[in-house]
Amino acid sequence: MGKIAFVFPGQGSQKVGMGESLANQHVHIQKMFQKADEKLGYSLTDIMFNGPEEELTLTSNAQPALLAVSMAVLKRFEEEGVTPDFTAGHSLGEYSALAAAGAITYEEAVWAVHQRGNLMEEAVPAGQGAMAAVLGMEREVLEEVTMSVTQGGAVVAVANFNCPGQIVISGSKEGVEQAAALLKEKGAKRVIPLNVSGPFHSPLMEPAAEKLRAVLDKANIQSSRIPVVANVDAQPVTDAETIKENLVKQLYSPVLWEDSVQTMLDAGVDTFIEIGSGTVLSGLIKKINRRVRTFAISDEESIVKTVVALKEETE
C-alpha cells in the first residue's frame, strides 16, 4: 500500500444530526463536543444535533460545527492506529487538517473558525454575496469571464478549482448572476447556486483577512508534525509562520483543491480518507484520479468498515 492522506470537508457539508450517533456511543466524544460548547460560550452541540438547518448553515455556526465533527471522528479513528502521511482540507477543512497535524489544538481551532465565520459574515452581510458551482467549463474561460464581469463593475472571481469540470465562482450576488449567464452562453453544462452565506475566497473577503490575522496571532499556531497541503499554493507545509500566512491569504484566494490532490498523488498517496460530515471530497478525488482508493468516515459503522478494508489491504 502507498501513502495515506486524511482530508477534511469544508462549509456546505454540514447537516443537522451530524456527530450525534458517535457522541451517543462514546462518552469521550460527548466530552469533546462539550469542550467546544464551553470554548464558544453557547451550545453549538444543540444546533448541530437539533437545528434548525438555517441556524446551522450560518457561517459562524457551520464552521466550528464541521470542525468539531471532523475532530471527533478523527479521535475515534485514531484509536484504531491509522496515521496519515499528509493532511489537507477544503477551505474551512484546512483548519481541521492543521489540528489533525498538531499545528493547533482542537479547542483553539474551534474558537478560531468561529471568529473566522463572524469576520466573514461581517465582511459581506448575508444575501449580498453568492457562490455557484460551474460544471463543464475550462479554467481559462472561467478566468476570462470573471475578469470581464469584474472590469464591468460587479465583483466575481474563481473561488475553488475542485476537479476537472467543476469550478466554483464567488462574489457579489450581481457579479455571480452576470458571470453565470455568460458562462451558460459559452457552453457551461450547469451553474448551480451553493448553500453558503457569503462570497468566500473572493476579493470581497479581503477586509476580513487582516482581522483574521489578529485572531490567528492569539491561536498559538505551531509547526505541524505532518505535512499539510495548503489551499493557496497546493504545497506541503509544516512551518508555523507559513501556515499562518497561508490561512490569511486563503480567505480571499482560490482553493486549489485539484492541484492539492495532484500534489499528494505525485508524492505517492493512493488512499484518501475523508473525515467528517459528507462525501463531497471523496467524489472530487475520484474525478481527479479514478484509480485511487477513497473512504469517507463519519460514524462508528463507517469507521469500522474502513479499518477492516485497510487491514485487508496490508495483510
User: What are the residue numbers of the active site?
Assistant: 91, 201
H/E stretch holding 187: none
Whole-number Å distance between alpha carbons of 3 and 133: 30
Q: Please answer whether residues 38 and 117 qualify as being in contact, where contact means their C-beta atoms are separated by less than 8 angstroms.
A: no
Sequence letter at residue 5: A
Whole-number Å distance between alpha carbons of 95 and 110: 9
Cβ neighbours of 181 (radius 10 Å): 13
- List b or e across 255-268, with b for residues whose CB sees 16 or more CB atoms inside 10 angstroms: bbbbbbbebbbeee
For 101-114, the three-class secondary structure string (H helix, E strand, C coil) is CCCCCHHHHHHHHH
Tell me which residue has cell 448551480.
192
Cβ neighbours of 149 (radius 10 Å): 26
